[in-house]
Amino acid sequence: MRDRAFEAALTEADERGRTRRLTLLKAQAYGILALGWRGASTHWERWLMATRTLSGLALVLVVSLQTGASVMLAGTVLPGWHDTLLPVSFLAASLLAGVGVTAALTVLVRRALHLDALITARHVALMARLMLGLGLASAYCYATEIFSSLLHGDAFDRAVLVRRLSGSHAWAFWIIVILALMPVQLFWFARFRRSGLVVALVGVAAAIGSFGDHFMLLIVTLSHDFLPSSAHPYAMGAWGLATLAGTVGLFLALLLLGLRTLPMVSIAETRRFAESHPDGRPSGERAPTPAETDDARLWGISAEFDDAGALADAVKALKARDLGARIETYGPVPMRRAAEILERPAGILPLLALGAALCGGVAFMGMCLYATGFDYVFDVGGRPRFSWQAFLVPSVSFGTLCGGLTALLALLFQNRLPRLNHPAFAIPGFCRASEDRFFLALEAAGPRFDPARIEQALARLPQGRPLMVRRVPL
């Protein structure tokens, strides 16, 4: 009987060990996907800083990619392309189309998913103002290009202008005027800026106008009499229309998949509403008494709160006392006040990302210059050797890629991965820190750690008393 009992106990211990190992593997897999985020106040601050850093790098990347092709076109000698204003005009038109599509999708998501509390009318009005500004900038570029061709352009420049305005493909230019430049003028009036339907329709019109801009820039410009490629007029056949419809269909399919599987609003922005609009109340479950855990080796003490203000008051009262414990806070929303009291900055993540972006851009530029010195493939298009201007745009793109990857790796390294003795595996109800609860964790960090003294200090707090206090065993 003893042997059977011993074997059963050994089997049960092995099963518990396998369960703990499997739990750790799952936790670390999810930890990598979440970049180490576990809801701590420092994690929230790092997450917000990383979001802003990646947004800045993405803005630089978008501008770099949009100007890349136009810079290459402006470096040619073809009339209609050989113009220093082309990159600016191309960028303004592309940004107008991009913001228009984003505005239309935002209004669609806001209406379909009932996100009026998160995507407010103010956001819609801001996108309308942005489209108005980009529309004015695009109109200025088109007007300047026409005026420049008429004022000091040669015969070839004027011929391109005539074909754009009255040639066989003049419809592309008038699509730009009618759909991209004129509708955005509605946003001078606040009534239209506040209308989601108007903003969505103008955004779709701007996207169609962008198609006309690209068609005019490529097809009409290349329709020169002295070019062999223009011996036959361009016509979009059945395969061309099918390709266009296929790209639109692919975009809509990916959009529907994204709406089905991905959050359309940043989790950090969504959780900001949790404090002012709580969805739950304290569960009221009984906390174990000290006698239940006296014999166990403790990881630390956990205290549960129902709002971030009470948590911050508790941190402020306990931080000045030498309790032999490391204090950390966890919650469903960014806890700026608690993070400031703990005096734990989010780190140097922006500096790391900026340094990596600069190093990546310089390294790519050096590689391009080194390659052109040996007649490698980079020396194309009749450009002179060491033409660094031609390599500036791809260098910036590669640099932003390096900066973004560095920001993600730095965030994962700073947050670290969860361990089995983390309170998430030991505190009942800790998962509610991602819903409607705030936790104060005091991890044992020295010989002065006394759980009874910490419990008394929590019970005697003048403000921010916890809902319940638990001893967390290892």
What's the pLDDT score for residue 126?
92
Within a domain: 331: no
The answer to whether residue 292 is domain-embedded is no
Q: Are 453 and 301 in contact (CB under 8 A)?
A: no
pLDDT, one tens digit for every residue, the chain (474 residues): 556 665 666 666 667 667 767 766 776 777 777 777 777 888 888 888 888 888 889 888 888 877 777 777 777 777 777 777 888 888 888 889 989 998 998 898 888 888 887 788 888 999 999 999 999 999 998 888 888 888 877 777 788 888 888 877 788 889 999 999 999 999 999 899 989 899 999 999 999 998 888 888 888 777 765 455 555 667 777 888 898 889 889 988 988 888 888 777 766 666 655 555 544 444 444 344 443 444 557 778 888 888 888 888 888 888 877 778 888 888 877 888 888 888 776 668 888 999 999 999 999 888 877 776 655 444 444 455 556 667 787 888 899 989 999 988 888 888 776 665 555 555 555 555 556 678 888 888 777 788 888 888 888 887 767 888 888 776
Q: Is residue 358 part of a domain?
A: no
> Is 162 part of any domain?
yes
Number of H helices, E strands in the chain: 18, 4
| Domain membership flag for residue 61 | yes
Q: Is residue 454 part of a domain?
A: no
In the prediction, which pLDDT does 199 show? 93
Query: Residue 351 corresponds to which tokens in the numbers above?
Result: 């500096």
Give me the pLDDT at residue 210, please. Answer: 87
177 is in which domain, residue-wise? Answer: 41-271
Q: Is 429 left (phi over 0), alpha (psi -120 to 50) or beta?
A: left
Q: Based on the structure, what is the number of domains in the chain?
A: 1
99 and 171 Cβ atoms separated by less than 8 Å: no
Q: Is residue 35 part of a domain?
A: no
Q: What is the DSSP string of 375-416?
A: T-TTS-TTPPTT-HHHHHHHHHHHHHHHHHHHHHHHHHHHH-
- The reported pLDDT for the residue numbered 377 is 47
Q: Is residue 396 part of a domain?
A: no
Report the alpha-carbon distance of residue 340 to residue 297 in Å, rounded.
31
Residues in the chain: 474
What whole-number distance in Å separates Cα of residue 104 and Cα of residue 113? 14
d(CA 205, CA 455): 64
Q: How far is CA 292 from the centre of its chain?
A: 46
Residue 384 CA to residue 382 CA, distance in Å, equals 7
Ramachandran region, residue 194 (left: φ > 0; alpha: ψ -120 to 50; beta: rest): alpha
Measured CA to CA, the distance from residue 344 to residue 40 in angstroms comes to 11
- Residue whose pair of structure tokens reads 């855990």 in the numeric block: 293
The pTM of the whole model exceeds 0.85: no
